Amino acid sequence: MSESKTGMTSDDFRSLVVAMAAAIEANADRLTELDSAIGDGDHGANMKRGFQAVLGELDQLATKPVPEALKAAGMKLVMTVGGASGPLVGTLLMTLGKELPADFDRQAFVMAYEKAVDAVAARGKSHAGQKTMLDVLYPILDAMREGADPDEVAARARAAADATVPMLATRGRASFLGERSIGHMDPGAASVALLAGVVARTLQTHQGA
């Protein structure tokens, strides 16, 4: 993989995937617990299976340009996660990969990310405010547009995940619970915030951003 404007190298990508898979594995029980409260109790296990599958193909992925690697990783998640989060997180990565030029800067990344989040919304037939992962994905977009550094973006993501606790779920399995969905963090939102934290930490370690 060649050096790009973002300075994302093959090693960076490798570290990122390894760190994401490790974070999901370490938090799988917590994510499943959140999902047991308002969903069907498999989110952590599903995400873990998906990220382990991506990890298993890391050597092959790391030989591809970043956009291609993102597409392939997204496809792997779609094929292995099993729950609705597979197509959703998979669509995020596949769209990012499709929209990113081979050599991208921050602005190009933000533009691609916006299209990717819109694609997730379309896939889930959902929008912000329904107590889903979109309630973290959109605040991340806002933070990046405002020029926040990776740490601030991650902090905004965590705050956004916390903000799903008092929300009433109107989309996804939690919506079946109606008012009883209030008082629990959305598991998809928790996963996305977790991954945003990993991305921020990895970018800082590798780029001193």
Partner 1 sequence: MNVGIVIVSHSPLVAEGVADMVRQMVGDEVGLAWCGGDPAGGLGTSVEAITAAIDKAWSDAGVAVLVDLGGAETNTEMAIEFIGEPRASLIAICNAPIVEGAIMAATEASGGAPLATVVATAEELSPL
For the CB of residue 25, give the shortest distance to partner 1 in the complex, in Å.
Answer: 15
Residues belonging to the chain: 209
For the CB of residue 75, give the shortest distance to partner 1 in the complex, in Å.
Answer: 9
Q: Which of residues 86-115 bind partner 1 (CB under 8 A)?
A: 86-88, 90-91
Ramachandran class of 97: left when φ > 0, alpha when ψ lies in -120 to 50, beta otherwise: alpha
With CA atoms as reference, report the closest residue to 200 among 23, 5, 10, 1.
Answer: 23
Is 42 a residue that touches partner 1 (CB under 8 A)?
Answer: yes
Is 83 a residue that touches partner 1 (CB under 8 A)?
Answer: yes
Sign of CA dihedral 156, 188, 135, 16: positive
Q: Are 124 and 88 in contact (CB under 8 A)?
A: yes
Nearer to partner 1, 97 or 172 (CB): 172
| Residue tagged 């992962």 (tokens) | 133
Mask: binding to partner 1, 162-191, rule CB under 8 A, as x and -? ----------xx------------------
Is 74 a residue that touches partner 1 (CB under 8 A)?
Answer: no
Q: Work out which of 28, 38, 78, 92 binds partner 1, going by CB under 8 A.
A: 78
Is 46 a residue that touches partner 1 (CB under 8 A)?
Answer: yes
Is 67 a residue that touches partner 1 (CB under 8 A)?
Answer: no
Ramachandran class of 167: left when φ > 0, alpha when ψ lies in -120 to 50, beta otherwise: beta
Task: Give the three-class secondary structure for 126.
Answer: coil
Q: Are 110 and 145 in contact (CB under 8 A)?
A: yes
Nearer to partner 1, 80 or 204 (CB): 80
* Footprint on this chain of partner 1 (rule: CB under 8 A): 40, 42, 45-46, 49, 78-88, 90-91, 123-124, 172-173
